[in-house]
Chains A and B, each alone.
Chain A
Amino acid sequence: NAGVTQTPKFRILKIGQSMTLQCTQDMNHNYMYWYRQDPGMGLKLIYYSVGAGITDKGEVPNGYNVSRSTTEDFPLRLELAAPSQTSVYFCASRLSGDQPQHFGDGTRLSIL
């Protein structure tokens, strides 16, 4: 049982480049989330989804986009990378409201 899988694990981008961070889960969870974690800070919610075809903004959505075409996958897209988007990105999922969140191992992204 793989749980939540994120790819790539590391990436360096140049300013203005675009990329997609991949997240997939094999637990048939309805809810999926994207967070960013900056040094010494808690996790900030970027986007979330309560099911296939449904997405919504979190606390810090600017500069990002998401889609949820299937239950398993929840990719996060950066269109025009900026240095402020240098961070560690975590994807998470959970089955329903009372269940704990399960996290992937993160993607470490540097924008130079």
Chain B
Amino acid sequence: KQEVTQIPAALSVPEGENLVLNCSFTDSAIYNLQWFRQDPGKGLTSLLLIQSSQREQTSGRLNASLDKSSGRSTLYIAASQPGDSATYLCAVRKAVGQNFVFGPGTRLSVLP
């Protein structure tokens, strides 16, 4: 059974820092991996989707990498801003017809 973990559970950084959020999964045979952002009281917003054949995806200040063999993905946020404060979740899917398995999330606080 696929299990997804995210460490740390919470992170506080001063504004302007570059930071890395981690996602680990137990079964390396995945189809794709998706990173989400969740603001308090809101649903999830898709940030980046990485297919199993890809090593990374970039969108603005965000860069997500995927290392299937080690069962890891990282979300890199450059030049963090207070507006980046949110919970970040990763989710993996084993095959095209299967459903996502979610990690518990990392709660990020960027302090001004």
B51, A98: Cβ atoms closer than 8 Å: yes
Interface residue tally for chain B (C-beta within 8 Å)? 25
In the bound complex, residues from chain B placing their C-beta under 8 Å from that of A97 are 31, 96-97
In the bound complex, residues from chain B placing their C-beta under 8 Å from that of A98 are 32, 49, 51, 96
B34, A100: Cβ atoms closer than 8 Å: yes
Which residues between 1 and 27 of chain A lie within 8 Å of chain B, taking CB atoms? 4
Q: Smallest distance from the beta carbon of B62 to chain A beta carbons, Å?
A: 14
A106–B41 Cα gap in the complex (Å)? 8
B51, A100: Cβ atoms closer than 8 Å: no
A45 interface contact, C-beta 8 A: yes
A90, B44: Cβ atoms closer than 8 Å: yes
In the bound complex, residues from chain A placing their C-beta under 8 Å from that of B102 are 35, 42-44
A48 interface contact, C-beta 8 A: yes
A25–B14 Cα gap in the complex (Å)? 38
A26–B101 Cα gap in the complex (Å)? 25
In the bound complex, residues from chain A placing their C-beta under 8 Å from that of B51 are 98
Most chain A CB within 10 A, of B9, B31, B46, is at: B46
Partner of A101, one of B4, B46, B105: B46
A103, B43: Cβ atoms closer than 8 Å: yes
Q: Which A residues fall within an 8 A CB radius of B?
A: 4, 33, 35, 40-45, 48, 58, 90, 92, 97-98, 100-106
Q: Which B residues fall within an 8 A CB radius of A?
A: 4, 9, 31-32, 34, 36, 41-46, 49, 51, 89, 91, 96-97, 99-105
Q: Can you list 13 residue pairs at the A/B interface with Cβ under 8 Å?
A: A42-B105, A45-B99, A90-B43, A97-B31, A97-B96, A98-B49, A98-B96, A100-B34, A100-B46, A101-B100, A103-B36, A103-B45, A106-B43
Please name the 4 residue pairs, one residue from A and one from B, whose CB atoms are nearest each other, closest first: A42-B102, A103-B43, A97-B96, A100-B46
